[in-house]
Amino acid sequence: MPKLPEILEIKTIAQTRLFHVESMHLKFSNGEERDYERLRSGKRGAVMVIPMPDPETVLLIREYAAGVESYELAFPKGLMEIGETACEAANREMKEEVGFGGKDLKLLKEFSLAPGYLSHQMSLVVARELYEEKLPGDEPEELEVVPWSVNQLDKLIDRNDFTEARSIAAIYLLQRFLENQ
């Protein structure tokens, strides 16, 4: 494993409500020096949750995605609140976005998103033994909940509105988890 580069300087070069851009001056172990820019996430982590109302079904949501200006199918996700574990945050997000809590929550993997320039990390949780419970969310409109058969997960890949790498990774990790059960 190579020796980590030395971080000679980190400074904030832009800050908005959501985004915090840093410039880093790095010295690599071979002596090369470079400036990198990265987006710094808040201290709170993020979660993505796969709700399973029964062993054959997952729940997706259809939500407006401002980055690509279209409605996308994806698994519910959101930021963790202070003091929450990943599973607690997953349960709350699920109550807000699909109207269910879960009694059986398991952490499948911690993702990075684009580790070259984002510090952002996300925990993937699968939720089973669901029960109805709705919490108010902060969405501008009601989210459409779309049940999907676990035997048809492959079909999602070919859709133009299921493009998010984290959701594709999630169905792979879910299949792997279910096979090992």
For position 71 contacting a second copy by CB under 8 A, the verdict is yes
Closer of 100 and 162 to a second copy (Cβ): 162
Closer of 64 and 131 to a second copy (Cβ): 64
For position 132 contacting a second copy by CB under 8 A, the verdict is no
Closer of 135 and 165 to a second copy (Cβ): 165
Element (H, E) at 72: strand 70-74
Using CB under 8 A, which of the segments 51-59, 92-100, 128-136, 140-148 binds a second copy? 140-148
**CA atoms of 99 and 159, how far apart (whole Å):** 25
Between CA 66 and CA 77, with CA 71 as vertex, the angle to 5 degrees is 75
**CA atoms of 3 and 13, how far apart (whole Å):** 27
In this structure, what token pair is assigned to residue 116? 């070259």
Instruction: Out of 65, 79, 107, 145, point to the residue binding a second copy (CB under 8 A).
Output: 65
**CA atoms of 77 and 137, how far apart (whole Å):** 12
Q: How far is CA 149 from the centre of its chain?
A: 21
For position 131 contacting a second copy by CB under 8 A, the verdict is no
**CA atoms of 128 and 108, how far apart (whole Å):** 13
Closer of 133 and 169 to a second copy (Cβ): 169
Residues that bind a second copy (CB under 8 A): 1-2, 4-5, 7, 13-19, 21, 23-24, 26, 28-30, 32-34, 36-39, 62-72, 74, 109-122, 140-141, 144, 154, 157, 163-166, 168-169, 171-173, 176
